[in-house]
Amino acid sequence: MYLLRRLINSLSMLLIVSLCFMVVINNAVAASNTAAIESAVTAYRTIGTLRREVSINGDAIANAYAGALQTLTQEIDTANSLSLDSDVLAAIDDIKNDYAPRLAAQVVDKTLQRVFYQSIWNRIAAIRDQFETGTSVALIAMLDESVAAFQAISATVARENQILTTDRQALEAGSNPGLDVEVNDHFSRIRTALNKSNPEEDFVTVQIARYAIRMSLARAYYIAVLREVAGAIANRAADPEETSIELKEGEIFYRVIESLVARGNPAGSLRIKAQLTGDSSKVVADEIVSELGKGFIGRVVAEMNGQASAITEKDRPHAVAEAAGAKYFARVLLPDLELRLGAADRGSLEKELENLMTASNELSAPKSELARNAISAILTKYENALNRAQYEVAQHTPIVENALADYQAIDSLRNQVPIDADAIATKYGADLQQLTQLVDQIYGQTIDLDVSAAIAQVKSGDQVPLALQVIDKSLQKMFALVVYNRVTLVQEQFGNLSADALALEWDRAYTAYSAIAKTANKEDKVLSSDKQSIVSGSDPDLDYQITAAFIQGKRAFDKTDTGDAQTLALARENIVVPLVRSFLIGVLREVQGIIENRTADVDEAREKQIEGEYFYRIVEGFIAQDNLSGSNQIKAQFTGALSNVVADKIVSEISKGILGQVERSIHQIEANFTADKNQAMLALERLSLYTGVFLADLGQRLNASKRASLENSIRDLKDAINNGNADRAVALRSIMTGILAEYESKLL
């Protein structure tokens, strides 16, 4: 029964793995045996010696890379939809061409460490997935390859912890967790288990060891990121060159664990990357540690959810594995958790994690629930102690704050039964209406007329649900325009206004944003695999991204740094574009509702159609600017027959409009590449943010590899701009425009 259940549960994964690892297992010319990997490790060590020379020999590094090491890198690229080989080759070219060669050497080294890290993880995962079907000989061969690959990165894994200082302003070395010893110990446990003398227990051993190895490695690179942050903070006042190298090391190290953090904290991951690739004076150790912590909390929670499901299904091996995952993910957090909460809470967490392991082994639902609840309580307490973005309004403006309060009251009133139209009219008729009329005057809108007419419609009892949606979405548009107006004013008048005056306008913008933050705090919406409807995607955490941008912008108002104007400009982009994206997600959310309800509940579908129409009005200009015809087609679908709403068409026309914004950003980078680096970097930020709108759709219509290549090209363009590397920029532009053209060709 055990073998049959495991076979059924893992069938889909086995199919995927067999495809991904065809290169690993069956291709004689791939780096698929221990000797080949040992050769790759030797080549990596040779490169390590060469990159430390005073004059770095790019040709010698290229020669060392060619062969077994490059073959292994290409294997990882194929199996994991990465582009590490191109990253290494580009960095070697930078060394040869003397474009910041010391930075490029770090890219080579840390990228190759990622190759070995991923090689280990792929093989350990394959051992787990093929445990039942693979022979002991074949599985042990994969283990031997993992052990060989580990030799390349064991020195990094063997390093001591990095923890915040007591004042949380810097980082310092802590105790050594012995992660290298732990990895080797679990290699040995797997080797014993692969004899399969007791298949069910041996499989559990492999499951646990898989998590232990993966998270020991991930924790080592978590520590490595913090080690480079510590060095950057220590050196930024006295040694800018060394600081830039340490930040580059931190940036590349972070790529190793980025997916683990970003899954549970996507906006926080963006904050980490912005600090590692930006002005060293803006690096804040406590913020980086906090965002890493938030990301790993998400992984612990995910593993506990998996454990709960496994307990319900009476699947002991799976339950134990998920409990082990929660345990090893949580161990990453323990030193920082102890710093913030104390030794008692750390001890309690460790105890409850062990309790979860025991409960899983016993398949005890009550004990599992008790342990999960206790773990969750401690993690919540820890999360509340993290230094994450929380904006505080310092200067108050009655008209904006009163308008916010009245809107929130209307939001509550429109969800009551029966609807009190007079109460809605009263709440609208004071500061909220005054602010709306002011926005109408500035932007030539008719929001006040739309809201007033909708209130009258509610009073008359005519299509009340539709009228209530008009009120809500029209007022959201008004607040969005207030946000846009104030943050744009602050950017344009940065050099003319005092810090207090800038802060007042910024606070007004944030107060207005508070009215629409609920819209930004929604999961993504993407086209279904059959392109017939819309489904939920991951949560991009746009609300947090916008809040963090408000905080970052406000820090620039003292004007003590020459880069403060640029910091503010970047913050504005990270408010405006994610806000646009949140309303576009709102549009697709209503498209989903239309399609799901138009057959069984026409009234509900019609209400969703009105919501979609008015959501789209908020961001129409961003699409119509470059796709007027497509914009008109979107509006026609929101005002016509329900049966005419086509998800793929709306997604396609939105993407075409955003592609116009992307192309404009590329042209602005080209125009400013030499003349104005700041403007080029600002255009690059817009490029990155706008592509984020359709990245998920691009990955679906093309493939994950093309998506990764586009993201990496945008990422690498930042270095090309900073280093003035025109040849590299041209090459990256070619990659980007080729992928974007291919994507556009797949749209309806």
Q: What is the pLDDT of residue 1?
A: 37
Question: Mean of the pLDDT values across residues 501-519?
Answer: 97
Residues 546/658, Cβ–Cβ less than 8 Å: no
Q: What is the pLDDT of residue 32?
A: 56
Per-residue burial over 182-192, b = 16 or more CB atoms within 10 Å of its CB, e = otherwise: bbbebbebbbe
Is 23 a residue whose pLDDT tops 50? Answer: no
Closest CA to 595 of 539, 519, 535: 535
Q: What is the pLDDT of residues 249-263, one digit of tens each?
A: 999 999 999 999 999
Residues 322/310, Cβ–Cβ less than 8 Å: yes
Question: Mean of the pLDDT values across residues 683-698?
Answer: 97
Q: What is the pLDDT of residue 353?
A: 98
Secondary structure E strands in 157-284: 162-164, 171-173
Instruction: Give the three-state DSSP class for 527.
Output: strand
What percent of the chain shows pLDDT beyond 90? 94
Q: What is the pLDDT of residues 724-741, one digit of tens each?
A: 999 999 999 999 999 999
Q: What is the pLDDT of residue 16?
A: 34
Residues 552/539, Cβ–Cβ less than 8 Å: no
Question: Mean of the pLDDT values across residues 609-617?
Answer: 96
Is 177 a residue whose pLDDT tops 80? Answer: yes
Residues 91/104, Cβ–Cβ less than 8 Å: yes
Is 526 a residue whose pLDDT tops 60? Answer: yes
Q: What is the pTM of this model?
A: 0.89
Q: What is the pLDDT of residue 723?
A: 87
- Burial status of residue 48 (CB atoms within 10 A of its CB: 0-12, 13-18, 19 or more): middle
Using pLDDT thresholds of 50, 70 and 90, give the confidence band for residue 389.
Answer: confident
DSSP 642: G
DSSP count for the chain of H helices, then E strands: 30, 4
The C-alpha atoms of residue 11 and residue 20 are separated, in whole angstroms, by 14
**Phi, psi (5° rounding) for residue 534?**
-120, 140
Q: What is the pLDDT of residues 83-98, one digit of tens each?
A: 999 999 999 999 999 9
Arithmetic mean of pLDDT over the chain: 93
Is 21 a residue whose pLDDT tops 90? Answer: no
Number of C-beta neighbours around residue 396 at 10 A:
11
Q: What is the pLDDT of residue 12?
A: 37
Q: What is the pLDDT of residues 391-438, one digit of tens each?
A: 999 999 999 999 999 999 999 999 898 999 999 999 999 999 999 999
Type and span of the H or E element at 534: strand 534-536
- Burial status of residue 540 (CB atoms within 10 A of its CB: 0-12, 13-18, 19 or more): buried
Q: What is the pLDDT of residue 727?
A: 92
DSSP 446: -
Question: Mean of the pLDDT values across residues 255-272?
Answer: 95
Is 28 a residue whose pLDDT tops 60? Answer: no
**Phi, psi (5° rounding) for residue 521?**
-95, 55
The C-alpha atoms of residue 510 and residue 438 are separated, in whole angstroms, by 18
Is 540 a residue whose pLDDT tops 80? Answer: yes
Q: What is the pLDDT of residue 261?
A: 96
Q: What is the pLDDT of residue 6?
A: 39
Question: Mean of the pLDDT values across residues 147-157?
Answer: 97
Distances from the Cα of 551 to the Cαs of 294, 393, 514, in angstroms? Answer: 18, 10, 14
Using pLDDT thresholds of 50, 70 and 90, give the confidence band for residue 13.
Answer: very low
Using pLDDT thresholds of 50, 70 and 90, give the confidence band for residue 30.
Answer: very low
Using pLDDT thresholds of 50, 70 and 90, give the confidence band for residue 574.
Answer: very high
Is 494 a residue whose pLDDT tops 90? Answer: yes
Question: Mean of the pLDDT values across residues 670-697?
Answer: 96
